[in-house]
Amino acid sequence: MLLAHLADTHLGFRQYHRQTSSGINQREADVSRAFRQAVSGVIEKRPEVVVIAGDLFHSVRPTNQAIVFCFRELQRLREALPKTRIVVIAGNHDTPRATETGSILKLFAELGVVVAMDQADRVVVPEFDLALTLLPHQALVVAERPDLRPEGPETYQVLVVHGEVDGLFPLDRWWAEPGGAVIDPSDLASDRWNYVALGHYHVMREIRPRVWYSGALEYVTPNPWGELIEERKTGVRGKGWLLVDLDTGKVERQYLKAERRLLDLPAIEAQGLAAAELNELIKDRVAKVRGGIADQMVRLVAENVARHVIRELDHAAIRAFKATALHFHLDLRRATQHRSIGVGAPGPRQTLTDVLRGFLGRRPLPERVARDRFVDRGISLLEAASADEEGGG
């Protein structure tokens, strides 16, 4: 029996400032296309069960456009596979913080989709001899958690849970999805689970045999660069979903065709470089991108850049790169400073820019505020203030 495992679709996610010809945020459109492509892939594989392990939407109150799009895609899935059981659990993004706030996920029950919003649930599918134990985000943040051991005589036992397996996230979590309920990996160790479908971690990852994160369908964190690095470290080729054979335990990665590239260009060591030299290196890095940077998401890091060099760069050329790419992030990092504290040896410390970037990247924001624009604005104001200080302004 086949199961399709999707998670962290984050429909309605918005990032950067560019819009499509119809006035939709370009990244929101990219995320929608990824979901449509995944639904088409699931229909082609014709599994008996489809699970979406949390964060179907990026916010508790998604736009009408995101809701209608999701409804139509799930309806398309239901019509193409009428005998397939479709299950959705709520993630931390889907879960209202106030008890009086409703959840839009209830709407999809009208399509025959099984929805678990705030409490643990167990769903038996007699025609498949299958039992699904569903643990949405809210079920894991209560004082007494439900038992994670399989129950009942059903041949196929599947656990669907949205949370963070303890020890999985790197110590440097600045790129990772915050707010997940922590799960002890030993709680997932029962040999009676035919499969454990996890959501919350955005990179495809096997935790142990038959226990997997499917990852997100697109790059939907405020800063995707650490996510890209994590994928490279673990040999993951991109975004997609998982097709699982519940009889054999075989898991096949179903990669999606990316709408656009996420490019992390080779970093520049700028120690001792004059502005003219750094300008040439920046232009050279951009010129060597195969296919160009038009409509792509690009980052270029320059380490140990002197403060006066930042002011003297060719900002007109940098603005042109930003206008060409969907997003061009020139990450200019000043030289690391050292200081001694107490009796310890001198050690590195974060620059003020790094500290501010980290703080603004984590700070809760109203839904209407674009985080990347908020962070960029904060960094720009800091650098302008620093330049004024140096110039005596």
> What is the three-class DSSP state of 160?
strand
Q: Are 53 and 6 contacting, i.e. CB atoms less than 8 angstroms apart?
A: yes
Measured distance between the N- and C-terminal CA atoms of the chain, rounded to whole angstroms: 70
176 band by pLDDT with thresholds 50, 70 and 90: low
- Bigger pLDDT: 382 or 238? 238
In the chain the domains, ranked by start, together with CATH numbers, are 2-255 (3.60.21.10), 262-390 (no CATH)
Maximum Cα–Cα distance across the chain:
77
**Amino acid (one-letter) located at 14:** R
347 band by pLDDT with thresholds 50, 70 and 90: very low
Q: State the CB neighbour count (10 A cutoff) for residue 139.
A: 23
Q: Is the pTM of this model over 0.85?
A: no
- Cβ-in-10-Å burial (0-12, 13-18, 19+) of 335 comes to middle
Q: Which residues pair with 354 in a beta bridge?
A: none
- Bigger pLDDT: 240 or 99? 240
Q: Give the residue from 50, 107, 115, 117 showing the smallest Cα distance to 77.
A: 50
What sections of 180-314 are H helices per DSSP? 225-234, 275-287, 307-312
Q: Which residues pair with 332 in a beta bridge?
A: 302
345 band by pLDDT with thresholds 50, 70 and 90: very low
Q: Which residues pair with 104 in a beta bridge?
A: none
Q: State the CB neighbour count (10 A cutoff) for residue 109.
A: 12
Q: HSE of 76 in the Cβ direction (CA atoms, 13 Å)?
A: 16
